[in-house]
Amino acid sequence: MGSGKRGLITAAVTVVCAVTVLAAPGTAFAAPSPTPSPSTSASSPSTAVSNKDLEDVRKRLEKLYHAAAVATDQYNAAEEAAEKQSAEIVALAKRIVKGQERLAELKKQAGAAAAAQYRSGGLPDEAKLMLSDDPQAFLDGTGRVLQGQRATKGLLAEMTRIQQDLELYAKDASAQWKKLEAGRKAKAAAQKRIEKQIKAAEQLESRLEEEEKERLAELEKEAAYKAQTAWLNSGILEDIKGEASEQGRKAVEYATEQLGKPYEWGAEGPETYDCSGLTSQAWASAGQGIPRTSQEQWKQLKRIDIEDMRPGDLIIYNDDASHVAMYIGDGAIIHAPRPGRTVTVAGAGTMPILGVVRPDA
């Protein structure tokens, strides 16, 4: 077990990580009370960063990582769209090849029919009847000719239809290529935005001394603790008594096994994850495919009242649905927070909740 995971389990109640928490609510999860942040004393150097300044840093970091999360969702959406468009192009290419093969076959048949007609000569039917030694045989042959003419018309009609289909497939393929190229540009732009925001955050943190980083971490814990406490004090857990479904249980088990693994934007495991990469893979492991991004999970999955929430459900955070976590019971979540962090257990109310969705509704 890595040091990040050991610290995680120490900070959170171990029971929320156990499978038994999935079926029956127990003690409500709350982050441990933060250690009081040291204040700048009169004897501190004049260059020391005050708690107020550190709080400003904390808020600035929060904004930078939030912007990175939004861009990550855009990157993931572009990647998912590119995969679908590539698959559609491949399918269209197969249809074009198949259509071309059928068209070549029909042209061969049409050529054979034209040759047969040429060999029969150009005399009108009346003349052929008069010159025939066996009028009945001629009439029988005429019936066969009429059948052949109808078959030829059908052959030509099919050729025309296939040619039209090929033109349509070509147009569709061209349109998909244009979308794919636009998606690549959107993906590249999102990647630049992600890297820019993360770099700015890292540079901001790098300017802090070790003692200041420790105080900043305490401020982050304190902010999370206050938010979680306020959420629990609302009495919300008194109404949340749902038990995990079989698929929900499996999804939570998967997410629990990823504890301590690093966050990496755009990652879907198995060694690193971003927030929606974790939730989508957890539910995939339970046999339920869901959208790749937190925004699409919010748009497409069934929405559930918080009071009806059960382990395995996904909590969507922020007004722009830029973050997602998995509810595991007792007021706790498992999520991949942000760059520089690992998959961890946290209080469900530590971030602004937009709503809850259920993959196996």
Angle between helices 275-285 and 51-119 (to 10 degrees): 60
DSSP string, 52-78: HHHHHHHHHHHHHHHHHHHHHHHHHHH
Residue 212: alpha-carbon gap to chain centroid: 37
Q: What are phi and psi of 344, to 5 degrees?
A: -145, 165
* 3-state SS, one letter per residue, for 148-195: HHHHHHHHHHHHHHHHHHHHHHHHHHHHHHHHHHHHHHHHHHHHHHHH
Residues in CB range of 356: below 8 A, 6 or more apart: 303, 304, 305, 306, 308, 309, 313, 314, 315, 316, 327
Cα 241 from Cα 308, distance rounded (Å):
7
Q: Which among 335, 345, 350, 356 is annotated as catalytic?
A: 335
Q: Which among 275, 304, 336, 356 is annotated as catalytic?
A: 275
Cα 318 from Cα 63, distance rounded (Å):
12
For the question of residue 66 being annotated catalytic, the response is no
For the question of residue 17 being annotated catalytic, the response is no
Q: What sign does the dihedral 309-314-316-321 (CA atoms) show? A: negative
For the question of residue 323 being annotated catalytic, the response is yes
Helix (H, G, I), strand (E, B) or coil at 40: coil
> What one-letter code names the amino acid at 94?
K
List strands edge to edge, sheet with 332-335. 302-304, 353-358, 314-317, 323-329, 332-335, 344-347
Helix (H, G, I), strand (E, B) or coil at 226: helix
Q: What does the DSSP 8-state code read for residue 126? A: H
Q: Which among 310, 323, 338, 358 is annotated as catalytic?
A: 323
Residues involved in catalysis: 275, 323, 335
